[in-house]
Every structure is written in C-alpha cells, then in structure tokens.
Amino acid sequence: MKLRITHQTRYEYLPAVETAQHMAYLQPVSNPYQRLLSHTLMISPTPAQMTQTLDVFGNPRCFFSLQTPHSVLDVVAHSVVSTQTRALPASRVNWEQAREQFRYQSGVPFEAATEFVFASPFCPKAPEFLAYARQSFAPGLSVLAAAKDLMQRIHTDFFYESQSTHINTPALEALAQRKGVCQDFAHIMIACLRSMGLAARYVSGYLLTQAAPGSVKLRGSDASHAWVAVYAPDLPAGQRWCDFDPTNNRAGWHSPGEDYVTLATGRDFSDVSPLRGVIHGGASHTLTVGVTVEPALDQLQSPSQSSSQRQSQGPAQTQTQTQIRTAKETP
C-alpha cells in the first residue's frame, strides 16, 4: 500500500517567543518492510539552523533553532510511504526462555534489546502491572502468544475515550480507571510486558482511517497513533520485533497492518514525541495539530479496514506558564 501523510503543527504564542530550539520526529523510518518514497519538512519562520541526524535507536530526527522573535510556529511534514506487512510468525520460544535472554550471564554477548526491559519515564515498574499481566502468561506459552493475549485483554477491558487523559497522566492511573487513548494503552501494555521481564518498545506513527458511512473524510481529521513492539529472540536476526496494537486489537510482523506507518521507536512516548522543544518567552500558547493519512493518487489497491477500528487521538496538551519551558506535541 502506498500512503500519503500530511502532518501539520501550529503553535500560537502570547507574548512572542524570543528564541527556540526544537526536535522533530516527523520523518517515517525506511526499512525492508516500509519504504520512504519522499519527505519534505517546511518550517515557518525559517530556522537559523537545521540539522538531520539519527538518534540512539536509529530514528531520523530534525533539530532546528529559531533566533528571532515569533508569535507563530508552523511545521508541516509531507511524506509518501510504501508499506507492507506479514502475519505474526510461528515463534516457538516460550516467554520464560525469552525472559532469560535478558538476564546477565558472564561471557554472553550483550543483547541490544535488553535496554527495552527496564522501566522508563512513562512505563514505570509497579506491582499493579505485574498483577494485570500474569493472567496472559501461562507456563510454557510462547512469547508472541502471551503478548497477543495481553493485547486482546487490554482491547476488551479498556474503554477508548478521547480527552480522558493528558500527556502527563501516569500509566498507573490509566490502568486503574480502565480508559484512555492509544498512548495510554501502549504504555500499559509495555509496562505489563516489562514487568514479566520481556523486551517491549513504543512505536509512534499513523493509521489510515476511513470516514463513517455516509460522510466524507475531512482533511486533517486523522491523528498520530501509537502501538507496541515485542521482541522474540528465536526469529531471524533483524526480524525479531513483532507489532501489537491494543487500541485496535491488531498484530503483525514489523507492523500491525499495511495501513500503518511507523515514524519512530523508543522506550516510550518521551523518546519520540513528534515535536518538542525549549523556548524562551511565550508564556502561554495554543497548539493546533492536523494529520491526514490517505492512499496516494496512484494507489490502486483499496485499504481493508475493520468497521470497529478506532481512530487514534492523543491526550490533551497541557500548558505551563514559565518563561523557559519544554513543549511537546502529543500523539
């Protein structure tokens, strides 16, 4: 499937921002299962400095700085991506064996996925996550079968409610209230998997959605999305991460479906916020985000979608009143 994505972010500041530095994670990754065909990033006002690099997890990112006063910041990313997916593989390693891969053993080579076993800012270790996870981890069950059962339970037990949480809502709170948005579900699933000693990472991206029957899909009406990747150590090297979306109860190898686009992967949302930065000035701000995901004009294959598929929406953005602060765009 070939998809075209437009991600528009607009900040309006009062009073004006004097200087600013921002980091954008808005360029989709390119790998054997997702090919980036084109990408442009337009920023207004024009940055004084702009640098493209890869972060520690291999995600493309763009740093830019603004050295002149401005009341408005516009960032627009246009991307065209070719996607494909495969069904979950027949991993035979059980979850207990997978867990042992990440325990220290003298003389054994370091496993890079180990860094996704430990707690992170949005996915803390807590007995509540372990208690919820245990039901999915019967002795001897394969790691992917256990992860799939956990995904299905979160999808069933939790109520999707936009604006029910904020960017700083702890995953423990979302677990207790049994409701949230895609970011909450991803963080809860990751925290549960890590409580069992398994490697799980956060995936940020997009999902192609369809308008309700009898209506026209509005441009800019989509949103960023988030899901989870789980590590199966017995799969071929370079192909060991499998994706699970608890929001929509979908799973696949390297992607839950060809209608998904991966932006970046990290320990949790704090690593891969689409746009964040530090500003001087601008005591208050208004954030407007519009995302459009649609088949490219030359796309001949129509997307197959479940009628129950939920459109993702991130938690509401909070505002702070300090003169120098960090601002993050939520998924």
Domains of the chain: 2-84+272-328 (2.60.40.2250), 95-269 (3.10.620.30)
Range 185-211 burial, b when 16+ CB lie within 10 A, else e:
bbbbbbbbbbbbbbbbbbbbbbbbbee
pLDDT > 70? residue 327: no
- pLDDT band, residue 115 (cuts 50/70/90): very high
Least confident of 55-64, 161-170, 310-319: 310-319
- pLDDT band, residue 218 (cuts 50/70/90): low
Phi and psi based region of residue 251 (left: phi greater than 0; alpha: psi -120 to 50; beta: remaining):
beta
Q: What pLDDT does 329 receive?
A: 55
Q: 3-class SS at 134? A: helix
98, with CB counted inside 10 A (0-12, 13-18, 19+), is: buried
Least confident of 54-68, 148-162, 200-214: 200-214
Q: 3-class SS at 324? A: strand
| Contacts by residues 300-307 (CB-CB < 8 Å, ≥ 24 positions apart) | 301/1, 303/1, 303/208, 303/210, 303/258, 303/259, 304/259, 305/208, 305/209, 305/210, 305/259, 306/248, 306/250
Q: What pLDDT does 86 receive?
A: 86
Q: What pLDDT does 4 receive?
A: 96
Q: What pLDDT does 221 receive?
A: 56
Mean pLDDT, residues 317-323: 29
Q: What pLDDT does 104 receive?
A: 81
- pLDDT band, residue 317 (cuts 50/70/90): very low
- Phi/psi for 294 (5° steps) reads -150, 155
Q: What pLDDT does 297 receive?
A: 76
- pLDDT band, residue 314 (cuts 50/70/90): very low
Q: What pLDDT does 303 receive?
A: 41
| Residue with tokens 């409701």, as numbered in its chain | 179
Residues 6+ apart with CB under 8 A from 140: 94, 96
Q: What pLDDT does 309 receive?
A: 47
Mean pLDDT, residues 97-125: 90
pLDDT > 80? residue 226: yes
Q: 3-class SS at 26? A: coil
Instruction: Tell which residue, 315, 329, 325, 316, has the closest CA to residue 284.
Output: 325
Which tokens is 248 given? Answer: 């929509």
For residue range 17-49, list pLDDT tens digits in order: 999 999 999 999 998 889 999 999 999 999 999
**Residue 237 vs residue 66, higher pLDDT:** 66
Q: What pLDDT does 110 receive?
A: 84
pLDDT > 80? residue 150: yes
For residue range 56-106, list pLDDT tens digits in order: 999 999 999 999 999 999 999 999 999 998 899 988 999 999 999 898 877
Q: What pLDDT does 323 receive?
A: 30
pLDDT > 60? residue 239: yes
Pairing of strands 179-180, 159-160: parallel
Q: How many Cα atoms within 13 Å fall on the side-chain side of residue 179? A: 8
pLDDT > 80? residue 219: no
